């Protein structure tokens, strides 16, 4: 059983969902990124998504786009992402990369998968890659033991859900709503239905992201999903901090609050 599968199994045995946090590599700075992520893990985050900064992040809302731009200006490259993965993985939390396809393809598909495995990374979320175009990626990830995570949306047909879920090997990422990432005041009522529809076609864990930003959101999603994914809320907390120390403290506090929200949810299906 992979480290990622073990994490979901442990959460399931505890009658709760897993809490997954996203942060771009190199943000809020190349020096502070790993201490921030470590503090998040120490305060209840079960798994980590490290964003690979990219100049054309189609799925990202303005909060994450600003963080990615800041990381790129600081000079963050693929090698820095791999180094971040290796350091965060030492916390024991399964560590994935969230990346658009272009940077992986340009870097070298097999090279990327091999280096990620060497850094103890466990998987990659590719929001703009479709299963139909993922042949080379599937071969590389299978060869190096890297889990693949593709996205489904409320608009996905039953046939599409089956196709995408069949191409995944770590979990299925269910976008709670159509559109870009970002904190929202309320979650789409379609998220629960989407999770139920995905479960009709796969036994893989189903994790919900896009718009989850408060402990109440986390509790709501944790009542029916296997994982709760939070990104923009962490980024925003760091952007509002006046110092690196305040940023670490803010991220830790938010992680603890979200973890409490996840753990307060009724036992999910």
Is residue 129 within 8 A of residue 173, CB to CB? The reply is: no
- Strand intervals (E) in 171-224: 172-175, 206-209
Cα(104)–Cα(85) distance, rounded to whole angstroms?
15
Cα(86)–Cα(39) distance, rounded to whole angstroms?
16
Cα(199)–Cα(218) distance, rounded to whole angstroms?
20
Cα(156)–Cα(262) distance, rounded to whole angstroms?
26
For the chain, the farthest-separated pair of C-alpha atoms sits apart, in whole angstroms, at 49
Q: Which of 143, 208, 138 is nearest to 176 (CA)?
A: 208
User: Which residues have CB under 8 Å from 220's CB, separation 6+?
Assistant: 187, 265
Q: So which residues are the catalytic ones?
A: 49, 60
Task: Give the other-Cβ count within 10 Å of 158's Cβ.
Answer: 10
- DSSP assignment, residue 266? P
Dihedral sign, CA of 61, 67, 73, 77? negative
For residue 232, what are the CA distances in angstroms to 45, 75, 226, 235, 245?
Answer: 15, 21, 20, 5, 19
């Amino acid at each position: 059983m992979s480290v990622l599968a073990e994490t979901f199994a442990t959460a399931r045995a505890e009658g709760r969902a897993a809490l997954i946090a996203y942060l771009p590599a190199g943000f809020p700075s190349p020096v502070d990124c790993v201490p921030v992520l470590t503090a998040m893990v120490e305060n209840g985050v079960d798994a980590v998504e490290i964003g690979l900064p990219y100049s054309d992040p189609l799925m990202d809302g303005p909060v994450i786009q600003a963080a990615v731009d800041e990381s790129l200006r600081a000079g963050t490259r693929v090698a820095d992402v791999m180094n971040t993965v290796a350091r965060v993985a030492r916390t024991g939390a399964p560590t994935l990369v969230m990346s658009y396809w272009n940077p992986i393809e340009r870097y070298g598909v097999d090279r990327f998968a091999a280096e990620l495995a060497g850094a103890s990374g466990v998987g990659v979320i590719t929001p703009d890659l479709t299963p139909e175009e993922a042949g080379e990626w599937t071969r590389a990830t299978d060869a190096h033991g890297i889990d693949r995570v593709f996205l489904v949306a409320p608009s996905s047909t039953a046939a599409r859900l089956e196709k995408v879920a069949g191409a995944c090997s770590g979990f299925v990422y269910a976008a709670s709503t159509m559109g870009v990432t970002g904190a929202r005041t309320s979650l789409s009522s379609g998220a629960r239905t989407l999770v139920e529809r995905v479960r009709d076609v796969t036994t893989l864990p189903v994790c919900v992201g896009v718009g989850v930003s408060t402990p109440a959101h986390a509790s709501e999603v944790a009542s029916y999903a296997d994982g709760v994914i939070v990104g923009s809320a962490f980024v925003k907390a760091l952007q509002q901090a006046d110092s690196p120390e305040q940023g670490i403290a803010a991220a830790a506090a938010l992680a603890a609050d979200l973890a409490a929200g996840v753990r307060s949810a009724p036992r999910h299906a």
